[in-house]
Structure 1
Amino acid sequence: MPKIFQMLFGAAALTLVATTPTSPATAARADPDAELQRLLEGRAAGKPIDCISLPNVTGNTIVTGRAVVYRIGTRLYVNVPPEGAKQLNRDDIIVTRTFGSNLCRGDIIRLLDRTSTIPHGFVALGQFVPYTKPRSD
């Protein structure tokens, strides 16, 4: 391909990327606080607890650089690690090793890269803050 066409195609692609609007979901993921706020919208915080029942967890979401959100039924439990939260990446795989059926404050979660499955860090968990939707009477 002639050099002039390569330059034109490159410039056109760059313009397309530079002018593509960012979706609100993408923008929320770029801002950890906004993503956490979006996940917890319409929910009220409860009293922090030290442990959750691991067999009852139906899913989790990593908020990059900020927290891990665990789902049990309709309740969300937010865990902000006291240290090391910067290692959290939304595409990581979480590996837990517990000595019982509970996941507790102080337990270590290992972080694996989703593509290579190579471990790249770990964090110790903090307290779990439950968030529930208010009852509609």
Structure 2
Amino acid sequence: MRHLIPALIAAAAVAAAPVATAREKLEPEAELAKLLEGRVAGEPQKCIPLSTARSSQIIDKTAIVYKVGSTLWVNRPEGGAESLDDDDILVLKTSGSQLCSIDTLELHDRTSRMYSGFVSLGEFVPYRRAKGE
């Protein structure tokens, strides 16, 4: 029994460790601001090329950020933004080479792959590093 108590204490400490070290999640607008820190907004565009988009990131209930080269393109959907969840997968059905403000994207839950909503895209605002940085 004496050996059981230290083992239980150690197990409890290990179980509690992820909670203690878990990173605090920022509010969506604060998360977006942190991502865009040191960048300057350019003129909004109707489309971006799909072939050069390297990644996308969903900011919960706020925006989708696409990385094209060193530029971050922020899209605040015209409709359905409240459905955006950073754990969703974006699904675009197109045969075109561009992603445009007239397009819609389906959202699918990453775990179940079930449909969870859609967004109607807005204009794409480029954010580039400020000169001298």
TM-score computed with the length of structure 2 as normaliser? 0.82
Unaligned runs of 5+ in 2: 1-11
Find 1:58's aligned residue among 54, 59, 70.
54
How far does the alpha carbon of each residue in 1:79-132 deviate from its partner, in whole angstroms, 9 at most, with x for none?
000121010000110011123100000201010100011111111100000000
Q: Which structure is higher in strand share? A: 2
Q: For 2:129 and 2:61, locate their aligned partners in 1 and report how far apart those are by CA, in whole Å.
A: 25
Q: CA deviation at 1:69?
A: 0.2
Q: Which amino acid aligns with 2:106?
A: R
Instruction: Name the count of aligned residue pairs.
Output: 120
Aligned match of 2:107: 111
Q: Which amino acid aligns with 1:123?
A: V
Aligned match of 1:81: 77
Quote the sequence identity (%): 45
SS of 1:55's equivalent in the other structure is coil
Q: For 2:63 and 2:73, locate their aligned partners in 1 and report how far apart those are by CA, in whole Å.
A: 10
Aligned match of 1:96: 92
TM-score computed with the length of structure 1 as normaliser? 0.80
Find out whether 1:70 has 2:71 as its counterpart: no
Aligned match of 2:5: none
Find 1:27's aligned residue among 2, 25, 28.
25
Q: CA deviation at 1:135?
A: 2.5
Q: For 1:99 and 1:50, locate their aligned partners in 2 and report how far apart those are by CA, in whole Å.
A: 17
